[in-house]
């Protein structure tokens, strides 16, 4: 991360003023760079599909008021110099970032930038039918098809190479599937407000208590896609822009909401309706970590607590003030947690 130069103010105060001017220029430069980054991201995203159907917002309902006893850890980290020294000793520097439903690799742009600046090696993947992958959503019926880009990536790693796998939202099912398929390629798995299911459970089941039963959901939903005809089971789901804002982006900056609304795509239903087969020999040997988002309207903190209780990970972290998408609403806090997990021996 480079050397850090500490400037001590002179007694007559002249150095303080010059440092203040430099600080102002530095802030303006950072703001200009951030604006450029947003414009570049928006330019790339504009080629992707927009959303059109309505979403009824029922996922925002809470299922209780359980309180957490775990301490929020997102702000207790090493200082810059110590972090730089620790990064050099990290065994696994490769991060693979997996998006959730409707998103794509584009949603990780802040995390990618922060991880690269820290000297790490992040890669964000588009799952099948997501981001810039042109596969028709309606043609994807299994988790194996949906997660194929991730499994292919892991299979193509060199023999002794490992990665830290990070999954967001329904991306938790994809990284669970990867843990079962390629356990020796994954050093640690991080679930970011994600569907961390147990053996025999469907990703959809995580949302079921907030959505009511799957059958009622299917009957009442007016935002389902029927790629194989109305007389066949639905094949995909499209979310309305306004409902997405309330569910996913209640703490997200307007620029990132703009990016998301031109970038999010329909997502396939088959993969989240599929029961996962997770074995103690493969999935059970993984080092799993869960990051809870405490102002989440899509996957309530209470449901996140339930996931952690029913399928305990090795560690639990919390981000205060984060909506369902901490890579937008709290990117620095998310980054610090990812660094801390990477540094764990």
**Residue 261, burial from CB neighbour count under 10 angstroms (0-12, 13-18, 19+):** middle
d(CA 108, CA 267) in angstroms, rounded, equals 18
Residue 303: other Cβ atoms inside 10 A: 23
d(CA 163, CA 92) in angstroms, rounded, equals 6
Mean pLDDT, rounded, for 145-173: 97
Active site residue 296: yes
Question: Residue 70 has what pLDDT?
Answer: 37
Tokens describing residue 289: 């970590």
* CA distances in angstroms from 313 to 158, 170, 275, listed in the order given: 27, 17, 20
Structural domains of the chain, with CATH = 50-63+70-343 (3.40.50.1820)
The β-bridge partners of 289 are: 190, 315
Cα–Cα nearest to 177, from 162, 191, 157? 191
Token pair 């959303």 is found at 51
Question: Which member of 130, 169, 187, 300 is catalytic?
Answer: 169
Residue 61: other Cβ atoms inside 10 A: 12
For residue range 13-28, list pLDDT tens digits in order: 444 444 445 556 666 6
Give the pLDDT band (50/70/90) at residue 86: low
Residue 67 has pLDDT above 60, yes or no: no
Cα–Cα nearest to 157, from 128, 184, 188? 184
Under 8 Å between Cβ of 279 and 180: yes
What counts of helices (H) and strands (E) characterise the chain?
13, 9
DSSP reduced 3-state for 96 = strand
For residue range 251-260, list pLDDT tens digits in order: 999 999 999 9
Active site residue 302: no
Question: Which member of 99, 168, 297, 324 is catalytic?
Answer: 324
Question: Residue 240 has what pLDDT?
Answer: 76
Question: Residue 84 has what pLDDT?
Answer: 54
DSSP assignment string, 47-110: TSPPP-S----GGG-----PPP-SPP-TT----HHHHHHHHHT-S--EEEEE--TT--GGGGHH
Active site residue 15: no
d(CA 45, CA 276) in angstroms, rounded, equals 32
Give the pLDDT band (50/70/90) at residue 50: very low
Mean pLDDT, rounded, for 39-43: 47
Higher per-residue pLDDT: 305 or 91: 305
Residue 112 has pLDDT above 50, yes or no: yes
Give the pLDDT band (50/70/90) at residue 230: confident
Give the pLDDT band (50/70/90) at residue 49: very low
d(CA 150, CA 112) in angstroms, rounded, equals 17
User: Which H or E run contains 110?
Assistant: helix 109-117
Across the chain, mean pLDDT equals 80
Question: Residue 47 has what pLDDT?
Answer: 30
Residue 212 has pLDDT above 60, yes or no: no
Question: Which member of 296, 322, 329, 333 is catalytic?
Answer: 296
Mean pLDDT, rounded, for 205-214: 66
């Amino acid at each position: 991360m480079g050397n850090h130069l500490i400037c001590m103010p002179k007694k007559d105060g002249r150095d303080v003023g010059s440092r203040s001017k430099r600080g102002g220029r530095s802030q303006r430069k950072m703001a200009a760079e951030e604006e450029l980054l947003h414009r570049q991201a928006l330019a790339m995203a504009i080629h992707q599909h927009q959303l059109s159907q309505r979403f009824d917002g029922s996922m925002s309902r809470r299922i209780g008021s359980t309180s957490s006893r775990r301490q929020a850890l997102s702000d207790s980290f090493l200082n810059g110099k110590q972090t730089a020294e620790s990064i050099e000793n990290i065994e696994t520097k490769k991060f693979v970032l997996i998006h959730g439903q409707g998103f794509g690799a584009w949603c990780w742009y802040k995390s990618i930038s922060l991880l690269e600046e820290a000297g790490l090696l992040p890669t964000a993947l588009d799952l099948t039918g997501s981001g810039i992958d042109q596969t028709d959503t309606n043609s994807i019926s299994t988790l194996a098809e949906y997660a194929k880009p991730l499994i292919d990536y892991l299979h193509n790693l060199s023999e002794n190479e490992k990665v830290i796998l990070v999954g967001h939202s329904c991306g938790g099912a994809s990284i669970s599937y990867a843990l079962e398929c390629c356990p020796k390629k994954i050093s640690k798995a991080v679930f970011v407000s994600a569907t961390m299911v147990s053996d025999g459970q469907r990703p959809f089941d995580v949302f079921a208590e907030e959505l009511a039963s799957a059958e009622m959901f299917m009957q009442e939903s007016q935002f389902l896609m029927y790629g194989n005809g109305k007389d066949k089971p639905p094949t995909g789901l499209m979310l309305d822009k306004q409902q997405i804002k309330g569910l996913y982006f209640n703490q997200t900056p307007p620029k990132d909401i703009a990016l998301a609304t031109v970038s999010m795509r329909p997502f396939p239903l088959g993969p989240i309706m599929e029961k996962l087969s997770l074995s103690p020999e493969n999935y059970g040997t993984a080092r799993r970590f869960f990051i809870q988002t405490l102002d989440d309207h899509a996957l309530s903190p209470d449901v996140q607590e339930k996931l952690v209780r029913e399928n305990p990970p090795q560690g639990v972290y919390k981000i205060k003030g984060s909506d369902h998408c901490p890579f937008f609403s709290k990117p620095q806090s998310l980054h610090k947690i990812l660094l801390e997990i990477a540094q764990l021996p």
